[in-house]
Amino acid sequence: MSTVATSKRELIMATAKSIFIEKGFRGTTIANIADAAGIAKGSVYSYFSSKLDIVRALFLQSDEKNQFLVDQLLENEDKKGVLLLEAYLIQEYQEVLNERSFIQVFLTDDMIVMDSEVMSVVQECRINYHLSQQKVLLQAYGKDISPWLYDIVSLVNGLLQEYTVYLTLDDADFSIKRCAHLVAFCLDSAITALSNSTLSPLLTKENFPLTQNIDNEQHQRKKALKLLETIKREAEDMAASQKSLVLETSSLIENELSQPAVNSTLIRALIANLRPYAELNVYRKRLADALDVELI
């Protein structure tokens, strides 16, 4: 995919999102999107098969942004406990405000929420969202909370989602910093109480609803393949020699992921080949994390 293609795809997505917010999903046509983007209607269909296809892409884009923001937050390894949790919550609520208008479109249109492919993407994003939260909690409180990790994630989401509803559907007007401080305080108290209790965890890796029926290995491979697609798009802006090496390395990783048994040593070495390219560092770290290999 060329740089022009990448930028045109992103232009279509940004334009569609803006018009969805203005006219609603049902009130928007592909022709509206093409006209506003200044491109031919057929060009939209070169990238997306329908309006719902654009919605799916927008959710995946949001998911990728969320993972990037979490990884960026976790780069500061000195921030721990309730301070890290509060920083994460502020980040999440800020994104809710940033995306409030689009979330309102999604939540109020049956055509979107009833589409099985859109909901499949939403479910995939939910899984990634929970995995990101697990990373935040483990960095904040350490492995001692591992027995309670899935219950704590559920507590985090319960409070996050309730205040998110107030911010989106009810257009509530309150300080997200005060909200994050309150929620972090409550969660920190609950985490401390659970860690000191004699209760048994309710949710575990084996019965966690979102992931109990998922093949973890296949999920990891699918996530890694999507990251490789992003890496290849990023490579389009590189010098010809660098682009060639990145594309070759990506193809070798893809080939290895197609094998019945993945050679982790080879995967680790191939990911290390991407180290010289600073612009790929975030994706390289996420790729190693997705495939559960050491980053070297």
We report the CATH number of the domain holding residue 4 as 1.10.10.60
| Cα distance between residue 220 and residue 197, in whole Å | 34
135 and 236: one domain?
no
**What pLDDT score does 206 carry?**
85
Element (H, E) at 1: none
How many domains is the chain built from?
3
Q: Does the structure show a pLDDT above 50 at 26?
A: yes
**What pLDDT score does 237 carry?**
80
| Cα distance between residue 272 and residue 252, in whole Å | 13
Q: Quick check: is 17 in a domain?
A: yes
Q: Region 107-134: what's the mean pLDDT?
A: 85
Contact between residue 199 and residue 191 where contact means Cβ atoms under 8 Å apart: no
- Dihedral of CA atoms 34, 38, 41, 43 in degrees, nearest 10, equals -110
132 and 248: one domain?
no
Q: Which of 144-158, 213-227, 280-294 has the highest mean pLDDT?
A: 144-158
131 and 58: one domain?
yes
Domain termination site, one of 214, 235, 251: 214
Q: Quick check: is 131 in a domain?
A: yes
Distance, C-alpha 98 to centroid of its chain: 15
| Cα distance between residue 246 and residue 238, in whole Å | 9
Q: Quick check: is 295 in a domain?
A: no
Domain termination site, one of 198, 214, 230: 214
Contact between residue 287 and residue 228 where contact means Cβ atoms under 8 Å apart: yes
Q: Region 159-186: what's the mean pLDDT?
A: 93
**What pLDDT score does 179 carry?**
96
Q: Quick check: is 10 in a domain?
A: yes
75 and 117: one domain?
yes
Domain termination site, one of 189, 214, 239: 214
Higher pLDDT among residues 77 and 37, named by residue: 37
Beta strands in 18-128 (DSSP E): none
Report the interhelical angle of 264-272 vs 281-290 (nearest 10°): 170
Q: Quick check: is 207 in a domain?
A: yes
**What pLDDT score does 216 carry?**
63
Q: Quick check: is 296 in a domain?
A: no
Contact between residue 294 and residue 283 where contact means Cβ atoms under 8 Å apart: no
144 and 87: one domain?
yes
What does the pLDDT look like over 201-243, one tens digit per residue? 999 988 888 876 666 667 778 888 888 988 988 888 888 889 9
| Cα distance between residue 197 and residue 193, in whole Å | 6
Which token pair is 229? 């697609």
Measured CA to CA in angstroms, residue 130 lies from 63, 210, 255 at distances of 11, 9, 28
Q: Region 13-18: what's the mean pLDDT?
A: 94
54 and 89: one domain?
yes
Task: Please tell me the pTM assigned to this model.
Answer: 0.77
pLDDT band at 1 (very low <50, low <70, confident <90, very high): very low
198 and 251: one domain?
no
| Cα distance between residue 239 and residue 236, in whole Å | 8
Q: Region 120-139: what's the mean pLDDT?
A: 90
Which token pair is 169? 């559907």
What does the pLDDT look like over 241-274, one tens digit per residue? 899 999 999 999 999 998 888 898 999 999 999 9
Q: Does the structure show a pLDDT above 80 at 3?
A: no
101 and 178: one domain?
yes
24 and 126: one domain?
no
**What pLDDT score does 104 carry?**
85
3-class SS shares of the chain: helix, strand, coil, % to 5: 75, 0, 25
pLDDT band at 5 (very low <50, low <70, confident <90, very high): very low
Q: Quick check: is 82 in a domain?
A: yes
198 and 210: one domain?
yes
Identify the domain containing residue 35 by its residue range.
1-48
265 and 128: one domain?
no
Q: Quick check: is 124 in a domain?
A: yes
pLDDT above 70 covers a percentage of the chain that reads: 96
Mean pLDDT, the chain, as a whole number? 88
201 and 81: one domain?
yes
